[in-house]
Amino acid sequence: MTLISAFTIGIPSFVLAPEPNRERIRGRFLDNVIVKSIPGAVCSVCCILAANVVGYCLMGLDYEQVSTLCVLLTSWIGCNLVIRLSIPFTAIRTALLVVVIGGTAGACLLMPGVFCIAPFTPGMWVFHGIAAALSAVAFHALYLKLDALHAARICESE
């Protein structure tokens, strides 16, 4: 969880929060936050459930290996959220994305013991690749759909 907290929550919050925003705030704050968080939450839950079912039941992985898959898939979904929140890209937002992805990968490769990252088996690579691709597509589709519904709802109320 430290890996996820640092690279997909802490550092992006620290970089993105002080940026000036000259757009008029539309809608209610809580609704805006919930709409942005639902895609990540849904995709994270689905990935964690899939990693547990596939990892334990089909692949015969141990706890550390399943936990590694869950952490890395949740980090991947967090990276997708950082990508979405960084649009339109600026130099600082692009650098942030490099730090988030590079920091997560670097921490896993250079300090796996610190974050309890288990070595990947070939089956784990295949599962991670498929789950990461599917979760990215699902995340962006959900994000776009909920954003459009939310924008339409705001326009109706104004």
Domain with 81, as residue range(s), is 32-157
18 in any annotated domain: no
117 in any annotated domain: yes
Structural domains of the chain, count: 1
Q: Average model confidence (pLDDT) for the chain? A: 89
Find out whether 59 and 123 touch, Cβ atoms under 8 Å. yes
pLDDT tens digits, 80-89: 988 988 888 8
Judge if pTM exceeds 0.75.
yes
Is the pLDDT confidence value at 158 over 70? no
2 in any annotated domain: no
1 in any annotated domain: no
8 in any annotated domain: no
Determine which of 19-23, 40-44, 116-120 has the lowest per-residue pLDDT on average.
Answer: 19-23
86 in any annotated domain: yes
CA distance readout (Å), 105 to 4, 96, 143, 152: 11, 14, 25, 38
14 in any annotated domain: no
